[in-house]
Amino acid sequence: MNQIQSINYPIYFNSVTTHLNNFINEGKYSRFFILTDEHTSTHCLPYIREKLNNRDDFDLIEINAGEESKTIDFCIGIWKMLIDFDADRSSLLINLGGGVVTDLGGFAASTFKRGIDFIHIPTTLLSQVDASVGGKTGIDIDNLKNIIGTFTQPKAVFIEHAFLSTLPARQVKSGMAEMLKHGLIADASYWNVLKISDLENPTDQLIYQSVVIKNKVVTEDPSERGIRKILNFGHTIGHALESYSLDNDSNPLTHGEAIAAGMICEAYLSHLKAGLPAGDMQEIVDTLLGVYGKYPIHESCYTALNAIMKKDKKNQGGKINCSLLTKIGECRIDNICTDDELCDSLKYYAS
């Protein structure tokens, strides 16, 4: 449980002292840059500095915390700092943060001077079990999530449990939504264990299992032509809710909260269209509502949500596409859903 192999890079668990030092001391890189946000520079950077024996040959780039930073403006800010610091093509960008830092940093690195190497040191549960694995990088435009991006693999990922000690409970629960999703789409026995676990304090074993599931899927289908789409369960409606909430709520939903609500709607659609047994649907709904409660969706938002879904990058030929469960632990890709079906699933959630 110390290391697994991904597409063409290793994922290390709780062994940053050895492996990060080895990686950096290989002599492959001319310069090192660490990208943080305002929280990870306080909570996580000192830990990494200490593990690297307080060496001082790193330049720091800091962005504001939160999804609002996952934009082209912040990306330009990173590119400009890399230029000011004279970064060359043998530079390494170290993304130290949650999914916003890993997505944005990965995108900035994959495009700077046609691509420099980067590694991820994910510091939220969500980025450890999901965002840092698989090579998706990206930014948002207006309310469209990840609409611009690349598939570029990091050179290594370092997952450290220690970072979770400063992570707010709400963010731990947010990451847990992706772990629950991994069970629902690929491993019923993992789902059964998660259901009865302390979801506010995930163990190393549970984190490891989640990474193994995600890694297996992305390794089979790195560029999302087929099987990888199962990871999108809950995300068609979830992304629309997340975007909507970012635009309209003073305290917007986290990614995981939005995906949990999306999974309830898409469990309903799974029952309607993909044969998910009623008992499985009820179990999913009860579990997710028990953990995340209910986000109030008023009927007046349905049109706006539908308009966001119409622009989802997973759509084909203008049709809205969902990955749906056939049973707990099994997922079917490419299910076209009509506006009425999507609207009914939102009504079901709200009811």
Q: Is 101 in the site for ligand NAD (CB under 6 A)?
A: yes
- DSSP run (H or E) holding 290: helix 278-292
Residues in contact with ligand NAD, counted by CB under 6 A, come to a total of 32
The region of 164-172, 184-192, 260-268, 287-295 touching ligand NAD under the rule CB under 6 A is 164-172
Q: Is 14 in the site for ligand NAD (CB under 6 A)?
A: no
Least distance (Å) between residue 124 CB and ligand NAD: 3
Q: Which CB sits closer to ligand NAD, 214 or 271?
A: 214
What six digits make up the tokens of 310? 């119409």
Q: Phi and psi of 348, rounded to 5°?
A: -60, -45
Q: Which CB sits closer to ligand NAD, 231 or 269?
A: 231
Q: Is 229 in the site for ligand NAD (CB under 6 A)?
A: no
Provide the 8-state DSSP code for 254.
Answer: P
Q: Phi and psi of 146, rounded to 5°?
A: 55, 35
The Cα 270–Cα 316 span in angstroms is: 19
The structure tokens 């004279």 sit at 86
What six digits make up the tokens of 14? 């709780």
Please say whether the beta carbons of 240 and 308 come within 8 A.
Answer: yes
Q: Where are the beta strands (DSSP E) in the chain?
A: 3-5, 10-13, 31-37, 58-63, 91-97, 117-122, 136-141, 144-151, 157-159, 320-327, 330-337
* Ranges within 165-204 binding ligand NAD (CB under 6 A): 166-167, 171, 174
The β-bridge partners of 31 are: 91
Q: Is 7 in the site for ligand NAD (CB under 6 A)?
A: no
The region of 113-121, 123-131, 281-289, 296-304 touching ligand NAD under the rule CB under 6 A is 123-131
Q: Is 6 in the site for ligand NAD (CB under 6 A)?
A: no
Ramachandran region, residue 20 (left: φ > 0; alpha: ψ -120 to 50; beta: rest): alpha
Least distance (Å) between residue 173 CB and ligand NAD: 10
Least distance (Å) between residue 10 CB and ligand NAD: 18
For ligand NAD, which residue has the nearest CB?
A: 99
The Cα 91–Cα 182 span in angstroms is: 34
The region of 11-19, 83-91, 112-120, 130-138 touching ligand NAD under the rule CB under 6 A is 130-138
Residue from 287, 258, 250, 269 nearest 341 by CA: 269
Least distance (Å) between residue 164 CB and ligand NAD: 7
Geometric angle at alpha carbon 159, from 18 and 245, rounded to 5°: 155
Q: Which of 95, 110, 127, 345 binds ligand NAD (CB under 6 A)?
A: 127
The Cα 91–Cα 75 span in angstroms is: 17
* Ranges within 303-332 binding ligand NAD (CB under 6 A): none
Q: Is 41 in the site for ligand NAD (CB under 6 A)?
A: no
Please say whether the beta carbons of 214 and 231 come within 8 A.
Answer: yes
* Ranges within 67-96 binding ligand NAD (CB under 6 A): 67, 70
Q: Is 35 in the site for ligand NAD (CB under 6 A)?
A: no
* Ranges within 244-303 binding ligand NAD (CB under 6 A): 254-255
Q: Which residues bind ligand NAD (CB under 6 A)?
A: 37, 39-40, 43-44, 65-67, 70, 97-101, 103, 123-124, 126-127, 130-131, 134, 136, 145-146, 163, 166-167, 171, 174, 254-255
